[in-house]
C-alpha cells in the first residue's frame, strides 16, 4: 500500500537484528504488521484479506475491542 500511495509509509524490520522492537511489539511470528500502533496482523494473508484487516479500524470508526455499542474514536 505504501508503494501505491504517498500518504502511507511502511518500514520492514528484521526482528533478530532489532530485539528491542521485537519485544516492544511482541513479535511471535513473521510477518507481523502493525498499523497505527493499534491493529496487528500476524502471518501472511491473501491481498484482499490483508487490506481489509489493515483498514478495518478506518472502516468502522470504532476502536478495536469495544462492546457492541462501540466507542467513537477521538484522534
The predicted pLDDT at position 60 comes to: 61
Question: What pLDDT is recorded for position 21?
Answer: 92
Q: Quote the CA–CA distance of 22 and 27 in Å, as a whole number.
A: 5
Residues 6+ apart with CB under 8 A from 71: 62, 63
Instruction: State CA 70 to chain mean position distance.
Output: 20
Question: Rounded to two decimals, what is the model's pTM?
Answer: 0.62
pLDDT tens digits for range 46-72:
999 988 988 886 766 544 444 333 434
pLDDT for residue 74 is more than 70:
no
Cβ within 8 Å of residue 54, ≥6 positions away? 1, 33, 35, 39, 41
Residue 26 has pLDDT above 90, yes or no: yes
Q: What is the mean pLDDT of the chain?
A: 78
H or E segment at 34? strand 32-35
| Cell 493499534 belongs to residue | 38
Amino acid at each position: 500500500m505504501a508503494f501505491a500511495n504517498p500518504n502511507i509509509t511502511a518500514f520492514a524490520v528484521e526482528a533478530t537484528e532489532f530485539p528491542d522492537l521485537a519485544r516492544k511489539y511482541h513479535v511471535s511470528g513473521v510477518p507481523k504488521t502493525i498499523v497505527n500502533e493499534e491493529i496487528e496482523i500476524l502471518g501472511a494473508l491473501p491481498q484482499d484479506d490483508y487490506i481489509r484487516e489493515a483498514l478495518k479500524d478506518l472502516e468502522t470508526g470504532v476502536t478495536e475491542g469495544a462492546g457492541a455499542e462501540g466507542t467513537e474514536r477521538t484522534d
